[in-house]
Amino acid sequence: MKNVTVLVTGSGGDIGQSIVKILQQQDFVKKVVGTDIHDKHPSVLLCDAFYTVNRVTDSRYADEISRIIHTHEIDLLIPVAEPELRQHLKADTYSILVGRHPGLKVVLPNKLSLAVGFDKLRTAEYLKAKGIPTPTTVEAGDNPDLEYPFVLKDRYGSGSKVNHVVTTNRQYVFYQKEHSNLIQQQFLPGAEGEFTCGLYRSNGVVRSITFKRELMGGYSNYGVVENSEKTTRLLEDIATALDLEGAINVQFRRVNGVDYVFEINPRFSSTVLFRHLFGFSDLIWSIMTVFEVPLPDYRAPANGGVFYKGFNEYITPAK
């Protein structure tokens, strides 16, 4: 595995930028090409080449990506943006591209993980059926089915874009009018901690890392490594339940000593670079797997390590 030219689609967001930064540090990477629906982000500088493309739902998208693959002789495609992954689940987007470009490798989690993770109601129901603790979750009807307070969130949404703690019927009615595809979810007090976990599995090998985190603006702003036998077993159970192949993100809250899984993101997450710096290199392992390269040994980092979300500034001087 050497002289690999990589195409990162959806490279303009925080996750895409982190992935590009990791790739640019790897000896086996020859060139990194990025795409996104606009160019107002640092990936235009981080990538060796960058293209603005249409949305994945546009009929021109596949042809645009195919031209980029042909022009740069792309060896590896890493789709990052959640809309792209959702469209692949619906229309098999990347299988079509592989059909057009024999030999092209694509880094993706398995379809069961995508299907379960992209539907928050199905996530709760599926994991519960497998004996994994989840908060009570139901579709949001005309009247609330859960006792106040509860969480109202988008069944198919990502992150915290639609995520409201509802305490009154007036609030419930208001949010029902403002949003569609809502679910009600049991409110889990956060005093014992909220956790975000990297989970990787391939050919039966399971690796994980757990951070106790704090959020700011919907992002993991601060976190502390907090692995344990208990959380490792929980994550192994989730990997088995999903028949996981690839890398995903798992989030849970601890209430009265019980870890309730409230979300699975079937993709690389915003902590992918933090994890990489701690030695949990799920991006690199995923690439090695598609190229059928044996994985190196992994030793989980010691508890107590801390990450901080920072900022970088970039400029392009006038010519």
Give the DSSP letter string of 54-89: --TTSTTHHHHHHHHHHHHT--EEEE-SHHHHHHHH
Cβ contacts of 286 within 8 Å, gap of 6 or more: 107, 200, 202, 246, 247
Q: Domain limits at 245?
A: 191-308
316 domain residue, yes or no: no
pLDDT for res 125? 97
| 200 and 303 belong to one structural domain | yes
pLDDT in tens, 163-205: 899 999 999 999 988 899 999 999 998 779 999 999 999 999 9
What proportion of the chain, given as a percentage, has pLDDT over 90? 89
Peptide bond into 149 cis (omega under 30): yes
| 91 and 165 belong to one structural domain | no
126 domain residue, yes or no: no
| 249 and 225 belong to one structural domain | yes
Residue that finishes a domain, picked among 127, 154, 186: 186
Task: Answer whether 266's CB lies under 8 Å from 248's CB.
Answer: yes
Instruction: Output the DSSP codes for the chain.
Output: --SEEEEEETTTSHHHHHHHHHHHT-TTEEEEEEEES---STHHHHSSEEEE---TTSTTHHHHHHHHHHHHT--EEEE-SHHHHHHHHHH-HHHHHHHHSTT-EE----HHHHHHHT-HHHHHHHHHHTT-----EEE--SS--SPSSEEEEETT--TTSSEEEE-SHHHHHHHHHH-SSEEEEE----TT-EEEEEEEEETTEEEEEEEEEEEETTEEEEEEE---HHHHHHHHHHHHHTT--EEEEEEEEEETTEEEEEEEESS--TTHHHHHHTT--HHHHHHHHHTTPPPPP--PPPTT-EEE-----------
CATH number (domain holding residue 91): 3.40.50.20
- Tokens, residue 40: 């107002």
| 177 and 280 belong to one structural domain | no
222 domain residue, yes or no: yes
Mean pLDDT of 246-260: 96
Q: pLDDT confidence of 219, banded at 50, 70, 90?
A: confident
| 102 and 28 belong to one structural domain | yes
| 146 and 95 belong to one structural domain | no
Q: How many residues does the chain have?
A: 319
Q: pLDDT confidence of 159, banded at 50, 70, 90?
A: low
Domains in the chain, number: 3
Q: How far apart are CA 187 and CA 163, in angstroms?
A: 11
The closest of 184, 187, 214, 195 to 253, measured between CA atoms, is 195
Instruction: Give the orientation angle of helix 229-241 with respect to helix 120-129, to 10 degrees.
Output: 110
pLDDT for res 160? 63
| 179 and 203 belong to one structural domain | no
Task: Answer whether 110's CB lies under 8 Å from 245's CB.
Answer: yes
Q: pLDDT confidence of 1, banded at 50, 70, 90?
A: confident
Q: How far apart are CA 304 and CA 34, in angstroms?
A: 35
pLDDT in tens, 104-129: 999 999 999 999 999 999 999 999 99
Residue that finishes a domain, picked among 166, 186, 206: 186
Residue that finishes a domain, picked among 186, 216, 251: 186
Q: How far is CA 71 from CA 35, 50, 53, 78, 107, in A?
A: 14, 12, 15, 17, 20
117 domain residue, yes or no: no
Cβ contacts of 4 within 8 Å, gap of 6 or more: 28, 29, 30, 75, 76, 287, 291
pLDDT at 161 over 80: no
pLDDT for res 163? 87
Q: Count CB neighbours of 38 within 10 A.
A: 9
| 199 and 175 belong to one structural domain | no
pLDDT for res 269? 94
65 domain residue, yes or no: yes
Q: How far is CA 46 from CA 219, 289, 317, in A?
A: 21, 25, 16
Mean pLDDT of 3-19: 97
| 94 and 14 belong to one structural domain | yes
CATH number (domain holding residue 204): 3.30.470.20
What proportion of the chain, given as a percentage, has pLDDT over 70? 99
| 177 and 199 belong to one structural domain | no
pLDDT in tens, 123-148: 999 999 999 999 999 999 877 888 99
| 180 and 196 belong to one structural domain | no
pLDDT for res 157? 80
Q: pLDDT confidence of 18, banded at 50, 70, 90?
A: very high
| 283 and 208 belong to one structural domain | yes
